[in-house]
Structure 1
């Protein structure tokens, strides 16, 4: 109960075979268990109600303890103790906490359902987790921040993008969490915790569409409605093995959606299958969608260099397995793209939320507060310079992609471990933005499809197409193979570089 981490470390067997599991997943090895424990922030007050001991052998004992929590409810701790060199230590532990009405790290408001749709249409029976940026009549927008939740007005209308889903038969399961003001990619909310990764509980889930992603990956919803500015849909889709579509900029109405940076904000969806994603796109996008040519895959060398080596090798093997020819293209400098997006995004984010932040000092978590502090420091000259670059960079990206499909790993690699430090997560964010900025600056649709595994964890393949090729990207991705191993295959260009 003192959360004496040194003593607890000593009670667990050293080495890589020690196990500790809970509802968030399984930790393997003493080092991983120790790193988790030092960052969990203590345990809920409780007493031990009973202990059952069952000898399994001369040097092995099974112990089951029942806890009574001070705030009500009970939990279990099951431990396999083993005596080695005269010392008893825990070899395997499983912790079962008290049941929760709902996971506050995932949901802000949950219903059964919260809002009924029409009950008929292509989305009938689909449960939607709505990112906490969308207006829902009778609800407030919390934007991932408890102070904003308390001060926000009650919406009188439902956001247009959500209304399209309701009119097609879907129900709103609930309002799901987001990184504060959608200004992050990690899915670590300082106020409500980190939603679990439904594909690998030892890793972070990603954000800022963090709550909807976890809800869909865990089977608590069928469709996540979210936003993508600089990767907020694509990153959690990749981390949790989901299908995630960022739509063409301005293709889906953002009326009734709290903005972050209007030059890049888009509406999109997360799903466990391409069929549900296609249905959402079909009822939400106009009939003017255009086709994409996926006969030849476009690959940019700089994007492969930006990925981690294991991810680049897995991606190369996947490309070879598609059987499609490859044409290499040249994109604008990735650092230039990321910095241009960062400056314009920061200027718009501060313009949208700076006044509120100034009126509510101390209301933000440390990482998001630092991001807004940097945003406040962007000068008018900085913004004008970056904004003047946007049309040129956008035109160059669109010219390079043309009517084809640019393929790349969605993110540099698998999701960081949930024990990762703040600086490590920040480094991952910076590396990720170099890859996600291509679609952001280009204003192009981008689909993350769960087609790779690297080190046993999911990594998405991202398909970027020309404007209004959103639905065709999903159809194309559904024909591609899923690649679960990491052999080394060189990319084989069949056309001269462009």
Structure 2
């Protein structure tokens, strides 16, 4: 074969690879990365008249890759788990009930690794794209199921909720997410996470569909809906929200007044109520406050009890498998499994007492026709790749909200109510354990009014110059990122400088400009920018890495070593920092 022919074939091969790559990216983009596997489970034929058609006729749905489907491996959010387990021999009864109810199952969706996170990010699979906020996290653990509904790919979807796995992605993706009362929907044919907390949940955009699915899974007949006689707003829970708390409560209050009158609205300090009505909670609170430490809040103690149960039961279920596959399990899971001591019988008994007493306390508070109003999450979805969702303060506020239904076993629904700075906002309604149909009916009745009030609230929001400046700064930063990727370093520096002028307290802008300065060999400027970034954000790993590089190039080896070591404190598995430390050690030998 002549050299000319070889080059022609090589060129065709490369062109083919590029074309296939583009087609693959397009396919991923079209389903927003929600699906792991496409399949089709068809419902039985419709019954002959005069019998009514199946209740879910005409609807499509997807299920998280934690539900068994006969003939398919249940991946549990991990490619390694999938490779070490056999295909399921039976389909989960929950999935079967929906198919028999007339719906078509079209595929399995991404879940967080071992369903053990609320971010939606997964090292084994590409993170599903949040359709309402593409630069933000979709939430987990049922990330793919939420994204599939939010993107309009299916009418509804199934997920599981242990400590927020349905409620958080529902809130982050701007759709309805329902966690039923604990134990009312079968957990058979589902990989367990923490059985005393696990609940099958579902997502929908349409409250009518949410309710139709509920009637099938809860096996409750259609009946006339009841009006709430009390709408209880947990004021202290809204103090955990750093933005838009007033906007959320006003939407709920105005909608409630319009539909049911102001007399049904009540306010409560939920933490104080729990402390007075859950005796075991006070014992747990005292037990988990060390000598000389300030007492943790009752809501935080409630969440700590939930996380204690979750960790212990997760370890009991999966420690043996994790022991055999440590290298393939995320550091977060390993930290929880190996970084905590085994639970004592006394602690487990105390947590179980909290659960039982809390269920009774909420039944007394809400009775058969009361709704508790709380935020779903402590704020808008964090940015992709950010450390916000793993920081102690965010997690504490988040799980203090999620534990309310998680520990009591109550049913909860997250409802979208507009947006804040182009990110979805949500509120949650909670009903007593067993009040699932009442809660679904209430959401169905209130939904249109809530959306109307949310729209009115957004139109009335003042547009301040400060917000405009921040938006312009972000635009300038993104232009800088594009220039940087195109290796146009001076142009990138110009855009980052513009962003800094508009918003001078953003550490990322300085750190990004430092990266461009490094490419140009301007090490002093890079070091100065990184120092400013670190002054603004002491956990900015990239700033430490870039300052370490600049100082190494300037010959400040000791200071450089300190920066790389501090980066390792923040990210123990950071490969760049590890290599740099080993390289610098050789200079001192």
Is 2:248–2:426's contact at 8 Å kept on the other side of the alignment? no
Note closer, same or farther for the CA distance 1:129–1:282 as it changes in structure 2 (3 Å cut).
same
Note closer, same or farther for the CA distance 1:68–1:311 as it changes in structure 2 (3 Å cut).
farther
Q: 1:219 aligns with which of 134, 152, 157?
A: 152
Partners of 2:388 and 2:329 lie apart in 1 by 16
Give the equivalent residue in structure 1 for 2:213.
280
1:134-213 equivalent positions in 2, closer than 5 A: 134-213=67-146
Structure 1 residue 169 displacement after superposition:
0.9
Give the equivalent residue in structure 1 for 2:531.
none
Give the equivalent residue in structure 2 for 1:428.
394
Partners of 2:207 and 2:32 lie apart in 1 by 28
Is 2:207–2:444's contact at 8 Å kept on the other side of the alignment? yes
Which is worse superposed, 436-445 or 292-301? 292-301
Is 1:318–1:452's contact at 8 Å kept on the other side of the alignment? no
Structure 1 residue 197 displacement after superposition:
0.6
TM-score normalised by structure 1 residue count: 0.75
Give the equivalent residue in structure 2 for 1:448.
414
Partners of 1:423 and 1:455 lie apart in 2 by 18
Note closer, same or farther for the CA distance 1:275–1:289 as it changes in structure 2 (3 Å cut).
closer
Structure 1 residue 106 displacement after superposition:
2.0
Which is worse superposed, 370-379 or 318-327? 370-379
Q: Secondary structure at the match of 2:141?
A: coil
1:138-168, Cα deviation, whole Å (9 max, x unpaired): 1121100111111122212111111110101
Note closer, same or farther for the CA distance 1:456–1:342 as it changes in structure 2 (3 Å cut).
same
Q: 1:255 aligns with which of 185, 188, 191?
A: 188
Q: 1:107 aligns with which of 24, 35, 49?
A: 35
Structure 1 residue 119 displacement after superposition:
5.2
Partners of 2:32 and 2:200 lie apart in 1 by 24
Q: Secondary structure at the match of 1:307?
A: coil
Q: Secondary structure at the match of 2:354?
A: helix
Structure 1 residue 254 displacement after superposition:
0.8
Structure 1 residue 425 displacement after superposition:
6.0
Give the equivalent residue in structure 1 for 2:266.
327
Q: 2:365 aligns with which of 400, 414, 422?
A: 400
Note closer, same or farther for the CA distance 1:292–1:265 as it changes in structure 2 (3 Å cut).
farther
Partners of 1:126 and 1:315 lie apart in 2 by 31
Structure 1 residue 292 displacement after superposition:
5.9
Is 2:62–2:107's contact at 8 Å kept on the other side of the alignment? yes
Q: 1:344 aligns with which of 309, 312, 316?
A: 309
Partners of 1:263 and 1:97 lie apart in 2 by 40
Note closer, same or farther for the CA distance 1:148–1:289 as it changes in structure 2 (3 Å cut).
farther
1:418-462, Cα deviation, whole Å (9 max, x unpaired): 242366566433321110110111101101111242223212221
1:35-63, Cα deviation, whole Å (9 max, x unpaired): xxxxxxxxxxxxxx9xxxxxxxxxxxxxx
The structure carrying a bigger helix percent of its residues is 2
Structure 1 residue 202 displacement after superposition:
1.7
Is 1:132–1:141's contact at 8 Å kept on the other side of the alignment? yes
Is 1:132–1:176's contact at 8 Å kept on the other side of the alignment? yes
Give the equivalent residue in structure 1 for 2:321.
356
Note closer, same or farther for the CA distance 1:436–1:101 as it changes in structure 2 (3 Å cut).
closer
Which is worse superposed, 172-181 or 363-372? 363-372
1:218-277, Cα deviation, whole Å (9 max, x unpaired): 122211111111111111111111111100111111111111111111111101111111
Is 2:231–2:373's contact at 8 Å kept on the other side of the alignment? yes
Q: 1:244 aligns with which of 177, 182, 187?
A: 177
The structure carrying a bigger strand percent of its residues is 1
Give the equivalent residue in structure 2 for 1:127.
60
Structure 1 residue 296 displacement after superposition:
2.9
Note closer, same or farther for the CA distance 1:172–1:423 as it changes in structure 2 (3 Å cut).
closer
Partners of 1:397 and 1:254 lie apart in 2 by 24
Partners of 2:336 and 2:32 lie apart in 1 by 24
Partners of 2:190 and 2:222 lie apart in 1 by 23
Give the equivalent residue in structure 2 for 1:417.
383
Greater RCO structure (CA 8 Å; 6+ sep): 1
Partners of 2:211 and 2:336 lie apart in 1 by 35
Partners of 2:222 and 2:339 lie apart in 1 by 38
Structure 1 residue 181 displacement after superposition:
1.7
Is 2:32–2:129's contact at 8 Å kept on the other side of the alignment? no
Q: Which of structures 1 and 2 has the bigger CA Rg?
A: 2
Give the equivalent residue in structure 1 for 2:469.
none
1:186-227, Cα deviation, whole Å (9 max, x unpaired): 101111121111211121100101111111111222111111
Q: 1:472 aligns with which of 421, 428, 438?
A: 438
Note closer, same or farther for the CA distance 1:75–1:176 as it changes in structure 2 (3 Å cut).
closer
TM-score normalised by structure 2 residue count: 0.64
Unaligned runs of 5+ in 1: 1-48, 50-66, 77-95, 489-498
1:374-389 equivalent positions in 2, closer than 5 A: 374=339, 377-389=342-354
Unaligned runs of 5+ in 2: 1-10, 47-53, 275-297, 462-589
